[in-house]
């Protein structure tokens, strides 16, 4: 490929990054600014213009998909060079993949057996469980996954068990003991988990100076994608490998650092200029994805974060439409509105897959899924499971099923030892075999085993404890309302406490999903039949779970968390649940730096939109079993008024709403009987207020009321129950 062809299609900033002299580089690449293109063309430039051998280049990405894409693009560029493809000698891969390659080549120096085994997450958890058994630890007090999370977190920080100073902290003392025993088990078995790959290879650099020198001499250029997502050990691995002579090209965006909860350190990209000498900084700010309005909104939000490296996205394209903001009465109204908007979008000739609904909490998907199912609209949960397929929900439903039928083997087996209660895998296998041989349910086999003392005293006590638990749950919930049954079972089965002990976003998401299951029970309307409300709900949940989401290649609406959306783009994007306490998440007020990461997450969400961005919030949302009335998210309020328009049922009006806008009273008497503009009314939650506006018809009719103490609210009339005072 001719050198001019290599850079002709680049903008000025991209060309500056690609053609920079051989030095350390920091490329601050804004959302949609073509960072992968720059990274690949920089490598091609080094090879074709600077005469660097592919053998001297190491390129690091964060996902296998990104690594494959980089190799494909490089292969296409370098095959056009004289002599054909030059990719063969280059190391291109993920941190873990490259660390594994290094350890495979130098297993002896790393203190590993030649055929060491890599543990995935499930394998690692099984080793932790064996360690617990050897240490005789109570997993109800110290959950297995808590220890797994602790071990991985310490390794990501480059910390071994012997380096931990526990003092008089029982938690640290126990975790250190588990970590040390786990390390011994892995050494005996020749096993390496994913976090160990990086830590072991980093330690290999430090203990073998000759080997380190060899690779420092080999890799003259180290290029790193998504640099803002590096954790402590990854950053240390890179710094040691680079030494004083290798040149590091770091590409990333401090404004898109959203994985602090899993170890990523935003300070790595912020201190790059200090830790590496003679750093050339290039900012990629021209965006090729979104409209001008969307970019201006994103810039306005992210500017509220302190200690940014500074960057402002812009586009040469038009500003496009304003951002729509819809104030829903509750989460059901919010979901209905989103479905209606998607339906209109598709009727205009667009694809379902061009629309994406993004939300902060996994639990928000439940109401949205139900709305899509009712409408018969195809949808897909990207990077996750549908609500009723999630592990914690299936476990809770299994307990509920056992209340009505102890002989439900699938449910019995699912929660037999969940949360763990000391029923070992051998005991479980024996119970299954007894049930098959005797032609009875697993419940009956368990009762028989307990009554006849088939197992050891310890196993018998564990089995008996489970049977007693089922009886206690049954007795305590008799006569309860459906939602109260679910709440009691989730709490007293130990499921809630089990997941509350999980650290990080995953544990929090599981707790929120369980709370959302209680909300689903509270909102469930049972029909008049011979079945109990619980039986009807379980049947309904099973049918929802049986309605498979769209196939991978079927045109379908995309639904995902904001974290899952990073790196993606869609013509139409909905940001749902834009409320204080939900987004930003309530936990952000409790941890230093968390609010700024939430704001970066908002920035990521906004910049997923290409043509149209819609934000929604609910004035009343049921959270944790109670109705909450949260303020509009600060992230919406940080967007200047001129970029947002408030959407109404029949029209769109610019923010802020003018109270002078009125509707002809003669047109509203049919849909709003007994009510009039300026009328004084009473609401059982919000108190006294004055009617300002009406909109919509039939079931969609809404009324705007200015309450004396609670401010202005839009209420769906059929649910509002307003009482005229005059």
* pLDDT digit string, tens, across residues 592-610: 788 999 999 999 999 999 9
* pLDDT band at residue 67 using 50, 70 and 90 as cut-offs: confident
DSSP result, 110-171: TT--TTPEEE-HHHHHHHHHHHHHHHT--TTTS-HHHHHHHHHHHHHTT--GGG---TT-HH
**pLDDT, average across residues 462-486:** 91
Residue of higher predicted confidence among 689 and 43: 43
* pLDDT band at residue 372 using 50, 70 and 90 as cut-offs: very high
Residue of higher predicted confidence among 260 and 167: 260
The H or E element containing residue 356 is strand 355-359
What pLDDT score was predicted for residue 227?
Answer: 94
What pLDDT score was predicted for residue 166?
Answer: 78
Mean pLDDT lowest among 85-94, 321-330, 424-433, 600-609: 85-94
**pLDDT, average across residues 111-135:** 88
Burial of 664 (0-12, 13-18, 19+ CB in 10 A): exposed
What single DSSP character describes residue 551?
A: P
Known catalytic membership, residue 608: yes
CA distance 681 to 678: 9
Q: Decide if 197 contacts 156 (C-beta within 8 A).
A: no
CATH match of 389-526 with 1.20.1260.10: no
Mean pLDDT lowest among 144-158, 182-196, 205-219, 638-652: 638-652
Task: Evaluate if residue 262 carries a pLDDT over 50.
Answer: yes
CA distance 68 to 74: 10
The H or E element containing residue 627 is strand 626-628
Looking at 15, 35, 155, 612, which residue is catalytic? Answer: 35
- Chain segment 161-191, per-residue pLDDT in tens: 999 987 788 999 999 999 999 999 999 888 8
What pLDDT score was predicted for residue 697?
Answer: 66
- Chain segment 495-530, per-residue pLDDT in tens: 988 888 776 677 888 888 898 898 888 888 777 667
What pLDDT score was predicted for residue 543?
Answer: 64
What pLDDT score was predicted for residue 282?
Answer: 95
């292969």: which residue's tokens?
Answer: 75
Task: Evaluate if residue 246 carries a pLDDT over 70.
Answer: yes
Task: Evaluate if residue 664 carries a pLDDT over 70.
Answer: no
Looking at 296, 336, 414, 608, which residue is catalytic? Answer: 608
What pLDDT score was predicted for residue 77?
Answer: 81
Q: Which two tokens stand for residue 285?
A: 């700010």
Question: Which among 233, 207, 142, 232 is positioned nearest to 179, based on CA atoms?
Answer: 142
Q: Decide if 269 contacts 275 (C-beta within 8 A).
A: no
Q: Decide if 713 contacts 705 (C-beta within 8 A).
A: yes
> End-to-end alpha-carbon separation of the chain, Å?
81
Question: Which residues, including other chains, have CB under 8 Å from residue 445's CB and lie 6 or more apart?
Answer: 431, 434, 435, 438
Known catalytic membership, residue 35: yes
**pLDDT, average across residues 252-277:** 90
Per DSSP, helices labelled H in 288-364 are 292-302, 331-347
Known catalytic membership, residue 12: no
CA distance 368 to 370: 5
The domain ranges of the chain are 3-102+199-285, 120-189, 323-386+549-647, 389-526, 659-724
Mean pLDDT of the chain: 87
Answer left, alpha or beta for residue 226, where phi above 0 means left and psi between -120 and 50 means alpha: left
What single DSSP character describes residue 276?
A: S
């729509």: which residue's tokens?
Answer: 324
Altogether, the residues listed in the chain come to a count of 726
CATH classification for the domain delimited by 3-102+199-285, as one of 3.40.640.10, 3.40.50.300, 3.40.1180.10, 3.40.718.10: 3.40.50.300
Question: Which among 59, 197, 55 is positioned nearest to 117, based on CA atoms?
Answer: 197
pTM for the predicted model, two decimal places: 0.77
CA distance 532 to 551: 34
Question: Which residues, including other chains, have CB under 8 Å from residue 162's CB and lie 6 or more apart?
Answer: 180
Virtual torsion, Cα 325, 327, 330, 335, nearest 10 deg: -30
* pLDDT band at residue 213 using 50, 70 and 90 as cut-offs: very high
Q: Assign domain 323-386+549-647 to its CATH superfamily.
A: P-loop containing nucleotide triphosphate hydrolases (3.40.50.300)
Is 323-386+549-647 in the same CATH topology as 3-102+199-285?
Answer: yes
For the chain, the helix, strand and coil percentages under 3-state DSSP, each to the nearest 5: 50, 15, 35
Pairing of strands 570-576, 355-359: parallel
Known catalytic membership, residue 502: no
**pLDDT, average across residues 559-585:** 94
Question: Which among 522, 489, 486, 481 is positioned nearest to 331, based on CA atoms?
Answer: 522
Looking at 256, 332, 690, 693, which residue is catalytic? Answer: 256
Q: Decide if 75 contacts 291 (C-beta within 8 A).
A: no
Q: Decide if 209 contacts 241 (C-beta within 8 A).
A: no
Q: Decide if 584 contacts 595 (C-beta within 8 A).
A: yes
- Strands (E) across 41-106 are located at 57-61, 91-94
Task: Evaluate if residue 375 carries a pLDDT over 50.
Answer: yes
Task: Evaluate if residue 707 carries a pLDDT over 50.
Answer: yes
SS3 295: helix
Question: Which among 216, 222, 266, 285 is positioned nearest to 25, based on CA atoms?
Answer: 222
Looking at 156, 226, 333, 597, which residue is catalytic? Answer: 226
What pLDDT score was predicted for residue 86?
Answer: 62
What pLDDT score was predicted for residue 85?
Answer: 54
What pLDDT score was predicted for residue 114?
Answer: 85
CATH match of 659-724 with 3.30.70: no
What single DSSP character describes residue 589?
A: G
Q: Which fold has domain 120-189?
A: Arc Repressor Mutant, subunit A (1.10.10)
CA distance 519 to 125: 32
Task: Evaluate if residue 22 carries a pLDDT over 70.
Answer: yes
Known catalytic membership, residue 226: yes
What pLDDT score was predicted for residue 549?
Answer: 61
Looking at 156, 225, 579, 695, which residue is catalytic? Answer: 225
- Which strands, in side-by-side order, build the sheet including 570-576? 379-381, 557-561, 355-359, 570-576, 609-618, 323-328, 644-647, 652-654
Looking at 36, 420, 645, 680, which residue is catalytic? Answer: 36
Residue of higher predicted confidence among 368 and 676: 368
Known catalytic membership, residue 225: yes
What pLDDT score was predicted for residue 651?
Answer: 43
């Amino acid at each position: 490929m001719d050198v001019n062809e290599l850079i002709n299609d680049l903008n000025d900033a991209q060309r500056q990054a690609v053609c920079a002299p051989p030095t350390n580089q920091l490329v601050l690449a804004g959302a949609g600014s073509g960072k992968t293109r720059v990274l690949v063309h920089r490598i091609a430039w080094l090879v074709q213009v600077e005469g660097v051998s592919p053998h001297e280049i190491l390129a690091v990405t964060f996902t296998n998909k990104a690594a494959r894409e980089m190799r494909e693009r490089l292969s296409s560029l370098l095959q056009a060079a004289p002599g054909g493809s030059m990719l063969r000698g280059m190391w291109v891969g993920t941190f873990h993949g490259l660390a594994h390659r290094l350890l495979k080549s130098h297993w002896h120096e790393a203190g590993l057996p030649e055929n060491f085994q890599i543990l995935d997450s499930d394998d690692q958890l099984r080793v932790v469980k064996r360690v617990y058994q050897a240490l005789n630890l109570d997993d109800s007090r110290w959950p297995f996954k808590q220890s797994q999370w602790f071990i991985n977190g310490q390794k990501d920080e480059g910390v071994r068990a012997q380096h931990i100073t526990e003092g008089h902290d029982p938690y640290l003392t126990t975790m250190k003991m588990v970590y040390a025993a786990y390390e011994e088990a892995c050494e005996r078995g020749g096993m390496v988990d994913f976090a160990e790959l990086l830590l072991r290879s980093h330690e290999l650099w430090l203990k073998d100076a000759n080997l380190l020198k060899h690779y420092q001499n080999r890799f003259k250029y180290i290029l790193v994608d998504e640099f803002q997502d590096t954790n402590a050990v990854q950053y240390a691995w890179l710094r040691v490998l680079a030494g004083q002579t290798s040149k590091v090209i770091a590409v990333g965006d401090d404004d898109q650092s959203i994985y602090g909860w899993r170890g990523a350190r935003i300070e790595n990209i912020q201190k790059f200029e200090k830790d590496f000498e003679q750093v050339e900084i290039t900012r990629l700010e021209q965006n090729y994805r979104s409209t001008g309005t969307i970019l201006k909104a994103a810039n306005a939000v992210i500017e509220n974060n302190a200690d940014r490296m500074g960057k402002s996205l812009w586009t040469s394209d038009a500003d496009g439409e304003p951002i729509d903001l819809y104030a829903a009465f509750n989460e059901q109204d919010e979901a209905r509105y989103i479905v209606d908007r998607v339906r209109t979008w598709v009727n205009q000739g667009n694809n379902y897959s061009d629309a994406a609904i993004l939300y902060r909490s996994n639990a928000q998907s439940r109401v949205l899924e139900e709305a899509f199912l009712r409408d018969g609209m195809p949808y897909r949960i990207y990077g996750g499971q549908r609500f009723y397929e999630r592990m914690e929900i299936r476990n809770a439903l299994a307990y509920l099923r056992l209340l009505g039928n102890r002989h439900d083997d699938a449910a019995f087996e699912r929660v037999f030892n969940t949360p763990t209660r000391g029923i070992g895998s051998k005991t479980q296998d024996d119970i299954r075999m007894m049930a098959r041989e005797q032609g009875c349910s697993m419940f009956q086999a368990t009762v028989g085993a307990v009554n006849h003392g088939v197992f050891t005293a310890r196993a018998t006590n564990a089995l008996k404890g489970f049977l007693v638990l089922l009886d206690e749950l049954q007795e305590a919930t008799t006569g309860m309302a459906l939602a109260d049954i679910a709440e009691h079972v989730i709490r007293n089965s130990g499921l809630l406490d089990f997941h509350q002990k999980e650290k990080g976003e995953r544990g929090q998401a599981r707790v929120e999903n369980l709370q959302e299951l209680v909300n689903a029970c509270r909102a469930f309307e049972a029909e008049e039949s011979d079945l109990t409300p619980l039986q009807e709900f379980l049947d309904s949940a099973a049918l929802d779970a049986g309605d498979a989401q769209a196939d991978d290649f079927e045109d379908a609406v995309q639904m995902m968390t904001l974290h899952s959306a990073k790196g993606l783009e869609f013509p139409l994007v909905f940001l749902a649940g834009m409320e204080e306490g939900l987004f930003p998440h309530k936990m952000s007020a409790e941890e230093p730096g968390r609010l700024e990461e939430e704001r970066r997450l908002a920035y990521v969400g906004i910049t997923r939109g290409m043509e149209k961005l819609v934000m929604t919030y609910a004035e009343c949302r049921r959270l944790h079993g109670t109705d909450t009335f949260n303020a509009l998210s600060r992230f919406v309020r940080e967007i200047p008024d001129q970029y947002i328009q408030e959407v109404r049922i029949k029209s769109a009006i610019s923010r802020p709403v003018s109270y002078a806008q009125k509707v002809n009273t003669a047109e509203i008497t049919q849909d709003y009987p007994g009510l009039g503009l300026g009328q004084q009314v009473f609401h059982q939650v919000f108190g006294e207020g004055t009617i300002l506006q009406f909109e919509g018809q039939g079931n969609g009719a809404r009324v705007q009321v200015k309450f004396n103490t609670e401010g202005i609210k839009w209420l769906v009339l059929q649910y509002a129950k307003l009482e005229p005072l005059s």
